[in-house]
């Protein structure tokens, strides 16, 4: 690979540089692109930058905030997921969205069971607008 051109290290320039090499070698030969986690490197690579993921990420954030904001819902979630947290301490500041989605996906059956349980129906948050929206 030739040396990176002496352009400003903006996310756009880095993206174009990496993309040009992917085009050169063919996307089918690229398994992963690794960069450091500096903000300018992650500008175009963050999952949150893609519009098709925005809705699901927003829903995941709302659900996660709701669960962790209340002791009762947090205790229920831990009970139904065998004490597995759906939020992980950040490995990098850019990976938290992906890691949270991954955990929610792995625990979706347990969370569905939680939100359809008698325990949830008896929870004081069940009839609240935010609580009602959680299990739809």
**DSSP letter string over 11-47?**
HHHHHHHHHHHHHHH-GGG---------HHHHTTT-G
Q: Provide the residue range defining the domain that includes 40.
A: 11-45
DSSP summary character for residue 45: T
93 with 36, same domain: the answer is: no
Q: Report how far residue 90's alpha carbon sits from residue 87's, in angstroms, rounded to the nearest whole number.
A: 9
Q: What is the predicted pLDDT for the residue at 65?
A: 87
Q: What is the mean pLDDT of the chain?
A: 77
In this structure, are 26 and 80 located in the same domain? no
Residues 116 and 80 in one domain: yes
Per-residue pLDDT band at 74 (split at 50, 70, 90): very high
The first and second tokens of residue 28, run together, are 């089918």
User: Are 23 and 86 in the same domain?
Assistant: no
| 35 vs 114: CA distance, rounded Å | 39
Per-residue pLDDT for 102 more than 80? Answer: yes
The mean per-residue pLDDT over the stretch 10-37 comes to: 76
- pLDDT over 90 at 78, yes or no: yes
Q: Which residues contact 18 (CB under 8 A, 6 or more apart)?
A: 33, 35
The model carries a pTM of: 0.56
Q: How confident is the model at residue 126 (pLDDT cuts 50, 70, 90)?
A: confident
């Amino acid at each position: 690979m030739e040396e990176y051109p002496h352009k400003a290290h903006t996310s756009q320039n880095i993206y174009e540089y990496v993309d040009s090499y992917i085009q050169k070698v063919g996307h089918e030969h690229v398994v992963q692109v690794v960069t450091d986690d500096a903000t300018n490197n992650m500008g175009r690579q963050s999952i949150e930058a893609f519009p098709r993921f925005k809705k699901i990420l927003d829903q995941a954030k709302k659900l996660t905030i709701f669960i962790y904001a209340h002791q009762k819902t947090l205790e229920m979630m831990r009970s139904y997921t065998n004490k597995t947290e759906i939020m992980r301490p950040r490995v990098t500041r850019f990976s938290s969205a992906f890691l949270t989605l991954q955990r929610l996906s792995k625990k979706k059956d347990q969370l569905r069971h939680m939100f359809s349980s008698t325990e949830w129906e008896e929870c004081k948050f069940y009839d609240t607008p935010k609580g009602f929206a959680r299990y739809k």
